[in-house]
Structure 1
Amino acid sequence: MYSLQGIGISAAAEDVYLSLVERGPTTAAELAHVLHVTPHAMTAAVGELIALGLVAPDGAGLVAHPPRAALDALVESRSRDLATLRDGVEELTRFWHDHHAESAGYIEIVRTEAGRTAISRRLYDEATEQIRALTIGYSGRSARPNMMAPGCREALSRGVRTSVVYGPQVLHDRPAREAVQNSIDLGEQARVFTGVPLNMGICDDRFALVCPPASDWDRRHHIVVRRSDLLEALIGVFESYWQIAVPLPNAVDTADDTGAAPTAETRQLLTCLSGGLTDESIARELGVSERTVGRRITRLQELLGARTRFQLGVQASRHGWL
Structure 2
Amino acid sequence: MLDALGMSTVDEAVYRAVLDHPQLDLVGLAARLGTGTDSVRASLDRLVDLALVRVNGGGFHVVRPQAALQALLAKAEAEIAARQQRIEATKAAVVALATQYDDRDEPEAIRRLNGLDEVRDYLAELSRSAQTECLSLTPAGPQQPEAMAAEKELNLPALQRGVAIRNIYLDSYRNDPATLAHARWMAEHGGQSRTTATLPLRMVIIDRRIALVPIDPDRSADGALELHSPGVITALVALFEQLWAAGTPLGEAPPKDEHGLNQQERELLRLLADGHTDESAGRQLAVSTRSVQRMMTAITERLGATSRFQAGVEAQRREWL
Could you say which TM-score interval applies, normalised by the shorter chain? Answer: 0.3 to 0.5
When normalised by structure 1's length, the TM-score is 0.42
Q: Which structure ranks higher in relative contact order (CA pairs < 8 Å, sequence separation ≥ 6)? A: 1
Structure with the larger helix share: 2
